[in-house]
Amino acid sequence: MMSAVDREETDKVKRRYDRISPVYNQLEFVMERMAMAGWRQEFWEKVRKNLQTGDLMLEAGVGTGKNMPYYPEAEEVRIEAIDISPGMLSRAESRAEELGIEVNLRKMDIQSLDYPDNHFDLIVTSCVFCSVPDPVLGLKELKRVCKPAGKILMLEHMLSDKLVLKNLMNLLNFIPRHIWGANINRRTMENIERVGLKVAAVKNLWLDVFKEITLTP
Ligand SMILES: C[S@@+](CC[C@H](N)C(=O)[O-])C[C@H]1O[C@@H](n2cnc3c(N)ncnc32)[C@H](O)[C@@H]1O
């Protein structure tokens, strides 16, 4: 049986991202410069290799649209992008306009997607499963809306398996969680296994914390 969405927790995450949306890009500036921008570039090269003309792609948890500069051309691929936070979405909308990108932006919860089964050829997430209140539910939804021959590509951070770092991440988790609802101690690989998604490839980008993951339903 499908477990229910925790509305209260989901609303809390939405409010936190709404609150930080005006300064989100500034808050992430150093991390973006130091590592994320390079990882995004490499990640999107992989995304493009997995896309064919006419495909339908979903970016789940689009945020302020940081991946948009790497999107394929609209004549190649149709793109949908969703987020729970109207504040983040409005920044994504401005970014899309600025870049002249055609993308259908919608406010939607990854834990209960308003799309039919087997709908997308490719689904992309980056740094999203740290803040989805019930990541297992979110992963189940991605599995449901992905075509059987489709793929899910993720650039995500998670709890380390290395004892000292793991304890530290668990200890400090309350800080990012309280500020913007993001957890640094999610067991994403275990959650992926729990929902029955198959790991086609996984690459560690920084220790065993930041990973690039390719999944099939
Ligand atoms: C850390 S940000 C990452 C944004 C973007 N993917 C990036 O790489 O910059 C996480 C995003 O996930 C969104 N999010 C969190 N929970 C969500 C949910 N249940 N459904 C849809 N989006 C969600 C947040 O609103 C936020 O925009």
pTM: predicted TM-score of the whole model, two decimal places: 0.96
Substitution candidate for ligand 1 out of 71, 105, 128 with most atoms within 8 A of CB: 128
Residue 68 lies in a domain: yes
Q: Is 142 among the domain residues?
A: yes
Question: For the chain, what percentages of helix, strand and coil (3-state, to nearest 5) are there?
Answer: 45, 25, 30
**At residue 1, does pLDDT exceed 50?**
no
10 Cβ inside 6 Å of ligand 1: yes
Tell me which residue of 37, 16, 18 sits closest to 90, measured CA to CA.
18
Ligand 1 atom 13 nearest Cα: 61
Is 124 close to ligand 1, i.e. is its CB under 6 Å away? no
End-to-end CA distance of the chain, in Å? 18
pLDDT of amino acid 29 = 86
Q: Tens digit of pLDDT for each residue in 128-156?
A: 999 999 999 999 999 999 999 999 999 99
CA distance 131 to 127: 8
What is the domain range of residue 156? 7-216
Residues 25-57 pLDDT 10s: 998 888 888 899 999 999 999 999 999 999 999
Question: Is residue 71 domain-resident?
Answer: yes
Residue 102: CATH number of its domain: 3.40.50.150
169 lines ligand 1 (CB under 6 A): no
**Considering the domain boundaries, does residue 206 fall inside one?**
yes
Residue 181 Cβ inside 6 Å of ligand 1? The answer reads: no
pLDDT of 171 over the 50 cut: yes
Question: Which residue of 111, 130, 131 sits with most ligand 1 atoms within 8 Å of its CB, as the best mutation to test the pocket?
Answer: 131
Residue 121 predicted with pLDDT over 60: yes
What's the pLDDT band for 2 if we cut at 50, 70, 90? low
pLDDT above 70 covers what percent of the chain? 99
Q: In this predicted model, what pLDDT tens digit does every residue of 60-88 receive, in sequence order?
A: 999 999 999 999 987 789 999 999 999 99
93 occurs within a structural domain: yes
Residue 1 lies in a domain: no
Q: Which atom of ligand 1 is nearest to the CA of 21?
A: 27
Q: What pLDDT does residue 179 have?
A: 79
Which residues contact residue 29 at a Cβ distance below 8 angstroms, ignoring those fewer than 6 apart?
none
Domain presence at residue 52: yes
Expressed in angstroms and rounded, the spacing between residue 42 Cα and the centre of ligand 1 is 20
- Identify whether the C-beta of residue 69 lies closer than 8 Å to the C-beta of residue 37: no
For the Cβ of 134 lying below 6 angstroms from any atom of ligand 1, the answer is: no
Number of structural domains in the chain: 1
Please choose, from the candidates 111, 106, 104, 151, the residue with its C-alpha nearest in 3D space to the C-alpha of residue 129: 111
36 lines ligand 1 (CB under 6 A): no
- Distance of CA 121 to CAs 135, 137, 154, 215, Å? 21, 20, 14, 12
In a domain, 25, yes or no: yes
Residue 44 CA from chain centroid, whole number = 13
